Amino acid sequence: MEKKKRIVIALGGNALGNTLPEQMKAVKITSRAIVDLIQEGCEVIVAHGNGPQVGMVNNAMLALTREDPQQPNTPLSVCVAMSQAYIGYDLQNALREELLNRGITDIPVATMITQVRVDADDPAFDHPSKPIGRFMTKEQADLMTEKYDYIMKEDAGRGYRRVVASPKPQEIVEIGTIRTMVKSGDLVIACGGGGIPVTRQGNHLKGASAVIDKDFASALMAKELDADFLIILTAVEKAAINFGKPNEQWLDDISVEQANQYIKEGHFAPGSMLPKIQAAVDFASSKPGRQALITLLEKAKDGILGNTGTRIHL
């Protein structure tokens, strides 16, 4: 019997919606695309972003502290954990329903609340750059800085937002459990939002005020699970060089060497396509035969079949 292709899928925020009702609808569409891959004979592990969701949780917790002065401020690591759980809740139920609708009854679906260790000395902690939460006035931002020691930055004339560090993932704490679940045939949702950021202090794991890029965390998980494919789903069908210019060129099949050259030439926007390409290169270069694919959610099946998307390989 041919070995199943093992795939780690990194879902972008556009696959989850921006509000609770939007998410309920979005996960149904997302689940159809994931179960399509399972029916193609693939073994799938799901990771996802939490950009809008963690900001929403953080705002809700801030509102609670304003209502009740006795309530302490909620650490960002706890907000990430909350977002993992409620996204996982919707996603696992939608996946389970889609599997059952297609008569697939032997694949349990479970969400693993996942901690990801980062380096306490990561230079990202000295240069917070990842905006989260709502826009604020200068007065509101100053109050946040004074009350909670937040770092607030003005954002392109739209107001002030909190910025936090985005350190590189070093270790997936629950990887042993995730590996066991995958081996037993479970459809696992893990490393949500890049994972709950923690630093190690002896045997203690301490939550960090940071968010981890979900594409880098997904690449690490794909390597740890010895996956064949990392699929990074985004808002475009393919990556491009000279994006938005008259000489724009969509990328189909490129080597790690070519991808690194395009990165060096500055073709990919930081905070947008750049981390996706970097994560794809990280995975594809880690072992012969591993491939990364960047494409649209609804094109994931076509991408695996080699019909679309940007494929990166050694």
Buried b (16+ CB within 10 A) or exposed e, 283-301: bbbbeeebbbbbbbbebbb
Q: Are 163 and 131 in contact (CB under 8 A)?
A: yes
What angle do helix axes 273-284 and 256-264 make, rounded to 10 degrees?
150
Name the E strands within the chain. 5-11, 42-48, 109-111, 115-118, 130-136, 152-154, 160-164, 169-172, 187-189, 196-201, 204-207, 229-234, 240-241, 249-250, 253-255, 291-296, 310-313
SS3 content of the chain, % helix, strand, coil (to 5): 40, 25, 35
Please give the Cα distance from 109 to 44 (Å, whole number).
11
Residue 16 CA neighbour count, 13 Å, CB half = 27
Please give the Cα distance from 200 to 299 (Å, whole number).
39
Q: Which residues are catalytic?
A: 13-14, 130, 214, 276
Least Cα distance to 314 among 293, 298, 296, 291 occurs for: 291
Please give the Cα distance from 153 to 122 (Å, whole number).
21
- The residue behind tokens 């949780």 is 57
